[in-house]
Amino acid sequence: MVAILRFLGTNCEYDIEYTCKILNKECAIIWHKDNTLPSNTSLVVIPGGFSYGDYLRCGAIARFSPIMKDVIKYASNGGLVFGICNGFQILCEAGLLPGILMRNKDINFKSKMSELEITSNDNKLLKGYTIGEKINIPIAHADGNYYIDSKSLEKLKENNQILLKYSSDENGSIEKIAGICNENKNIFGMMPHPERAIDKALGSDDGIRILSNVYS
């Protein structure tokens, strides 16, 4: 069962719920003030949005919501967690993923289709992809500028934790990083929105393959 978290300001929970329905995956939307995840949770998805209005820093307040204690426990025990956009920001703030997301280099909100390059496929999220393969997934963020210190960046490279890179310098992210995972490869975060690329009528259906992988 996919547990979809909802914070004050989350706005992509129904998009994720819809993808679960078309992929025949049971799901439930979980309120941030709940203390525990459902006992049959097989995946936690933290959707995009603007939790707590991005006050203080994007994801910094949501990180302290009651449900996050159980998410951290669940992830620490090997449970799968997938953060998209604001969800990625929350995972970084919670210390479940390394690095931080900062304001885009040009200080502008970006909402557009973005070409991505697959840089790792030895993980559940991107299994079956070819290294260097290009996909098109939309972005929608003001704080998508991924930063990590040089020592930790080298560790990401050594452990093959960099999942996706932008084909162009979209927002100033160090080495064009668009998505990463933790060392154990059970926690994933990406700024682009795969749930908004599930049908060619939307401009791309490249996202459905990512979601199908992680839901399975």
Residue-wise pLDDT for 56-91, tens only, equals: 889 999 999 999 999 999 999 999 999 999 999 999
Beta-sheet strands, E only, within the chain = 2-6, 27-31, 43-46, 81-84, 100-102, 110-118, 134-141, 145-147, 162-166, 177-181, 187-190
Is 141 a residue of the active site?
no
Q: Are 146 and 101 in contact (CB under 8 A)?
A: yes
Q: Are 46 and 86 in contact (CB under 8 A)?
A: yes
Fold of 2-215: Rossmann fold (3.40.50)
Q: What is the pTM of this model?
A: 0.96
Is 85 a residue of the active site?
yes
Is 58 a residue of the active site?
no
Cβ-in-10-Å burial (0-12, 13-18, 19+) of 99 comes to buried
- The residue ranges of every structural domain in the chain are 2-215
Percentage of the residues of the chain whose pLDDT score is greater than 90? 91
> Does residue 13 have a pLDDT over 90?
yes
Q: Active site residue: 12, 85, 92, 181, which one? A: 85
pLDDT of amino acid 170: 81
CA-CA distance, 77 to 12, in Å (whole number)?
26
CA-CA distance, 178 to 173, in Å (whole number)?
7
3-state helix, strand, coil in the chain (%, to 5): 30, 25, 45
Q: Which two tokens stand for residue 151?
A: 């020592």
